[in-house]
A and B are shown apart, each in its own frame.
Chain A
């Protein structure tokens, strides 16, 4: 138990420090990388709780995919710190007030009154034969099947909405269609082979008409 507790404190400390860095770093790329570190150490915390499926999926989905896209966007930003910090003092009181109210609200709901050890005692450690994945699957597809399906539908709606918002045709930009391009065949689409009768040797063969023609597609 001692070693496990030690690991818990190590990963919890890393999570807290990394989360603090996320909001204090000036450089957005550094902030995102600290967020990645926070995700990884929280995954480690979940694995300590014997929720290895959730821990690995957190790394797979958030670190492996979502944060890569985040980085992708953030790297192309040119953040001007000076304009960001303009009016910092002016908005500080109202900002601090909102932060305090939010923190208080979170504490009231997530605090020990509702989620303390009395309400949620630490579960008995499961044996080595219990498969996390199977247990989770059984729960998801029986008791929690409606929330699961509704979450899926909400995600689908979000996908459709995001695509609809960004999908616009701009007639002034020229673009190509790779799907059409890969269908191009050598025969009729790209080259025109011209049959010519052989000419006498005195005249040098000039096959100007047989030059390869690029497809207009």
Chain B
């Protein structure tokens, strides 16, 4: 097997690795939509979809088939090229970001030094899909949604970037694998504890960046119909949908990686010696990611939509000051070699 793998050209090897990442991801996206409807259903004392397949388990497939069958309507006065380009611009960064994501010790497609920076850059590109869609649709509601999204993402990206600067200071590296290695130990040595304010800011900014409730003013069904994607239908709409959910999974996985120790086990090394389940492994990363994915749904079912000006206030006047102060605190703690996180 190994010889066969090594005999393949490098390009084919990389392609196989990409498929091995993207296919499960798209499957997860599909079933995340079902999970969302089920979880929110149960939170609101409903059953959720239960007609297609066993207890609704084939609902995502049915949805996908329906969306593929539908006609893609292009508004008469829309900018046709940009209108069709926008969904692709939205989904490309959401998928490309996974290139530097380590799934286990050394299990990563591209182990680059500036991994964290690359992720930040790519997540900041996702907004172009929304803005271009809003403008190219030539529709008032779509443009309003795009404007709201642009302002919101610029505000929250700064807070998110600063929260990641805190992680960078704490770990001393931009490499995602090294960041996880820096959290080695047990539940209490992970970065969520020393970086608790930054962790909160990161998670909330992540929800705002993915345009999820309660920060979904870019869609705001009750105010601007469906915001930036009001003119989209069929597969073009489905691609936006895929991008949004892929981004949510990415933010959840990153929260697990940067603040919750990634694939590290919550138990100290001494307890788990040789135990495959309790020891470090991919399953821990998956478990943590699922938890954050659930938090996304939980928040959506719990909170009403934020008002637009209050979103701006929260981003600029609350989160950015918090992150700046806490970066200073973390830097001092690292200098003082505060145990147990930074003891030499």
Interface residues of A (CB under 8 A from B): 29, 33, 36, 52-53, 56-57, 59-60, 63-65, 68-69, 71-72, 75-76, 131-133, 176, 178-179, 181-182
Contacts and interface: CB of A to CB of B under 8 A. Distances in A.
A184 B112 CA distance: 49
A69 B154 CA distance: 8
A112 B154 CA distance: 40
Contacts of B147: 72, 75-76
B120 A60 contact: yes
Contacts of A59: 121, 124-125
Given A72-B147, A75-B135, A56 B113 contact: no
B132 interface: yes
Interface in B67-90: 82
Contact of B114 (A29, A56, A75, A181): A56
Contact of B118 (A33, A56, A71, A75): A56
Contact of B121 (A29, A33, A64, A176): A64
B114 A133 contact: yes
Main secondary structure of the interface of B (DSSP, over half): helix
B129 to A, nearest CB: 12
Contacts of B329: none
B151 interface: yes
Interface residues of B, number: 32
A24 B157 CA distance: 32
Contacts of B256: none
Contacts of B3: none
Interface string B108-122: 000011100110110
A1 to B, nearest CB: 16
Contacts of A131: 113
Interface of B: 82, 112-114, 117-118, 120-121, 124-125, 127-128, 131-132, 135, 143, 146-147, 150-151, 153-154, 157-158, 161, 174, 307, 309-310, 312-313, 317
Main secondary structure of the interface of A (DSSP, over half): helix
Contact of B150 (A36, A72, A182): A72
Contacts of B174: 133
Contacts of A63: 121, 124-125
A77 B161 CA distance: 30
B114 A68 contact: no
Contact of B143 (A57, A64, A75, A182): A75
A103 B25 CA distance: 50
Contact of A178 (B151, B154, B157, B309): B309
7 contacts: A59-B124, A65-B158, A68-B153, A68-B154, A75-B135, A133-B117, A179-B317
Nearest to B117: A56
Contacts of B117: 53, 56-57, 60, 133
Given A52-B113, A56-B121, A64-B125, 9 more contacts: A29-B135, A52-B112, A56-B118, A71-B131, A75-B135, A132-B113, A176-B309, A179-B317, A182-B310
Contacts of A52: 112-114
A63 B174 CA distance: 20
A107 B252 CA distance: 50
Residue of B117, B150, B307, B312 contacting most chain A CB atoms (<10 Å): B117
